[in-house]
Each structure stands twice: as structure tokens, then as C-alpha cells.
Amino acid sequence: MAGIWLLASYHKSGNTWLRVVLASLLSGRPVDINAMPSVNFGASDRALFDKALGIASADLTIEQETNLVPRAYEIWAAEAQRPIYSKTHDAYRLTPAGEPVFPTTATRGAVYAVRDPRAVAVSFANHRGRDIDDTIDRMENREAGSSESIPRLSQQLFERPGHWSDHVESWLGAPFPVHLVRYEDMHNDPHAAFAAVARFLGLPCDSERIAAAVEAAAFPRLQAQERAAGFIEKPSRSPVFFREGRVDGWRQVLTAAQAKRIVTAHGGVMRRCNYDTQLLPFTAEL
């Protein structure tokens, strides 16, 4: 069975970067960030869901929609000619009917990208066009997701990333193989981090191919592509998508109180992922 590989993460945790590397690896050449069909299968793509099930999801309640997502996955997996690499920001969770949203029978495994939640807060605030405190609130909200009351028809189905710590733990406890990759490791030693991902996915992982894919997805190159042509995944409220790509940029932006709030809420899972919870913003060290 070709099956589905899930590329899962909380928002702004390196999912796009990971997909650019995988797209380069799969095609054997640098990719256009606006044309990556091999890794742009969106698990929450409303049009794909409608096409698979023969219904208009826009007419359904959120409960009906979510209960049918596993059926869509089963159809995609059964009809796939080759492995599907599917991005998701959803938590690994159950439908209202009580079955996993991501059915084990259709899923070969997941790569889970995690990033220091202090860096996530800064990047996600920029992405949302909201302030950092509001974003920290959202990362603590177990119900946080796309809302049923939104005044527009989203191209995405309802997703519930929820609480940041719960998100991480839900995926690490999923009942299929899960490969954890830290954003910071992708940044500090990309060759090792992406080679391990490629090995997990059964893709070519020889040093030369990995080096070429890493080079093709180097952050300055992604920024240059976005500057030159734009990026179709950039939200309109966000000035740029590929912003800094730093691992410790949060230390220049967060206040000590904000950093403390994040550690208080998520310290246990941060330590589980080897994040130094003692690290402070630079301003707090003065």
C-alpha cells in the first residue's frame, strides 16, 4: 500500500522547510516554493475532501465534517499510486464519533517537527498578525482551532491544534511510527536531521543527495524566492512568510514575563524535547 506519511507540526515549527527539503529530495533538484505538488497534499484541503467523499463539506456541520475525515484518508490511501506526504497542523485526536482523525490503517507514519514554544510564540504572532500575549493565550487554549463561527468559507477543513504541549504529546503517543525532528536540529545540523527524516521515510539518504536538498532549501534561498515571486502559502495579514529562521530570535523579542508564562505552561514537554527551560530573554540577563 502506498499509504500516507503525515508531516505534522504545530504552527511555525519548520513544516514548510521540511517539505521544501523533501520536495527537493523527491525531485532531485531545487524546487519552486510555489510549485511543490509532491508534498502539497493538504490533509485538511476542503476540495480534496469533497472530491473524495462526493459531498459538499461547506454544507456539513463541523461534527459531520470531522467524523468523515477518516473516511477521506482511507480513500486517499487506497487510491494513491505512490506514497502521499501530507502536511497537517492538527493534533492527533479523536473525532466526535470517537475514532482517530488519522486512521492507522491509512497511515504509514508521521514525521513530527517540534520547535521551542518560545520561538513559536514570536513567529506565530507574526504569522497571525496578532500580538505575542494573545498568541501565548492561544497556545494554552485546548479548544484552539479554526472556528465554526468564522465568517468565511475556508479552503481548509476544521483543525484543532489546541494546547501546544498536548499537540506534541498527542503526536508522540500516536499508534504508528513517529519520527521526531527538532527545528533547532534542522537548523544546527541540517544534514544529520534531514538524513534521519529521509531514512525514516525510506527516501534516498546518501550524503550527496541530502546535501543538495539542504542547499536547495537553505533559508536565504527561500527568502530570496519569496522576495522575487511571493509565496502562495503566506497569509495576507503577515508581511513575509520566511521571516528570520533563527533558533534564538525569541530571546531578543520576548519579555521575561512572557518567557516565564510559556515555561510555566509547557515546561514539562519542553524538557522532554530537550529545551533549556532556564534560558532567559537577553533583556532579562542585563
Binding site for another protein (CB under 8 A): 34, 46-47, 50-61, 63-64, 67-68, 71, 74-75, 97, 148-155, 229-230, 232, 236
Name the residue nearer to another protein (CB basis): 154 or 255.
Answer: 154
Secondary structure in 3-state letters for 64-77: HHHHHHHHHHHHHH
Distance CA 189, CA 170 (A): 26
- The nearest distance, CB 198 to another protein, in angstroms, is 29
- The nearest distance, CB 64 to another protein, in angstroms, is 5
Name the residue nearer to another protein (CB basis): 61 or 255.
Answer: 61
Integer angstrom CA distances of residue 145 from 35, 113, 136, 161, 201? 27, 19, 14, 6, 28
Find all residues with CB under 8 Å of 257, minimum gap 6, and list them.
Answer: none
CB of 24 within 8 A of CB of 30?
yes
Name the residue nearer to another protein (CB basis): 72 or 262.
Answer: 72
Radius of gyration of the chain (CA): 19
Name the residue nearer to another protein (CB basis): 71 or 179.
Answer: 71
- The nearest distance, CB 203 to another protein, in angstroms, is 28
- The nearest distance, CB 242 to another protein, in angstroms, is 15
Q: What are phi and psi of 2, to 5 degrees?
A: -60, -50
Name the residue nearer to another protein (CB basis): 94 or 232.
Answer: 232
DSSP assignment of 99-121: SBSS-GGGEEEEEEEE--HHHHH
- The nearest distance, CB 37 to another protein, in angstroms, is 14
Name the 3-class secondary structure at 179: strand
